[in-house]
Amino acid sequence: MALSFRDATRADVAGIVAMLADDALGKAREGADLAPYLAAFDAIAANPAHQLIVAERDGALVASCQITILAGLSRQGARRALVEAVRVRGDLRGQRIGEALMAEAESRARAAGASVIQLTTDKSRQRAHAFYDRLGYSPSHLGYKKPL
Q: Nearest to residue 64, comparing CAs of 76, 79, 75, 54?
A: 54
User: Which backbone phi and psi does 95 adopt, to 5 degrees?
Assistant: -110, 15
Reply yes or no on whether the pLDDT at 1 is more than 70: no
Q: Helix, strand, coil shares of the chain as percentages rounded to 5?
A: 40, 30, 30
pLDDT of residue 48: 97
| Beta-carbon count within 10 A of 49 CB | 14
Q: Mean pLDDT of all residues in the chain?
A: 95
pLDDT of residue 36: 98
Reply yes or no on whether the pLDDT at 25 is more than 90: no
Dump pLDDT digits (tens) for 43-82.
Answer: 999 999 999 999 999 999 999 999 999 999 999 999 999 9
| Share of residues in the chain with pLDDT > 90 (%) | 91
Q: What is the mean pLDDT of residues 30-42?
A: 96
Q: What is the mean pLDDT of residues 98-116?
A: 98
pLDDT of residue 93: 93
| Share of residues in the chain with pLDDT > 70 (%) | 99
pLDDT of residue 27: 86
pLDDT of residue 41: 98
Range with lowest mean pLDDT among 1-5, 8-12, 88-92 = 1-5
Q: What is the mean pLDDT of residues 7-25?
A: 95
The CATH superfamily label for domain 3-134 reads Gcn5-related N-acetyltransferase (GNAT) (3.40.630.30)
Residue type, 6: R
